[in-house]
């Protein structure tokens, strides 16, 4: 069974990208705002490009911003609020206003 991601990677490779380059490009696209004209007033959303992302890693939770800034790691039994102050500081003070 093929997924859209697999098809996109294959198409990129057919046009000359290496597997690594295609994977990198697709990963970059995943982090871009979901809206072609992001609203700077709502940048803390997927459409704005700076949503809080929490992933499950090797027995830990990994927090990051959609723009790739790492926000830290914690154990699965900890509160997700661990990431919020760091993300809030990043999105409110480190990201330039539109």
Structure confidence at residue 20 (pLDDT):
95
Mean pLDDT of the chain: 88
Structure confidence at residue 21 (pLDDT):
95
| Residue 1: pLDDT band with limits 50, 70, 90 | low
- How far CA 95 is from CA of 38, 43, 57, 90, 98, in Å, comes to 14, 9, 26, 6, 9
Tens digit of pLDDT for each residue in 66-91?
888 999 999 999 998 999 999 999 98
Percent of the chain with pLDDT over 90: 55
pLDDT average, residue stretch 47-51: 85
Q: By C-alpha distance, which of 71, 5, 68 is closest to 32?
A: 68
Return the domain boundaries, the chain.
1-31, 34-98
């Amino acid at each position: 069974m093929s997924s859209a991601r697999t098809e996109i990677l294959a198409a990129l490779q057919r046009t000359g990208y290496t597997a690594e380059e295609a994977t990198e490009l697709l990963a970059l696209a995943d982090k871009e705002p979901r809206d072609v004209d992001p609203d700077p007033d709502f940048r803390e959303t997927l459409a704005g490009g700076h949503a809080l992302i929490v992933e499950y890693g090797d027995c830990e939770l990994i927090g990051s911003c959609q723009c790739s800034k790492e926000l830290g790691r914690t154990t699965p039994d900890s509160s997700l609020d661990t990431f919020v102050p760091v993300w809030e500081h990043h999105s409110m003070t480190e990201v330039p206003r539109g």
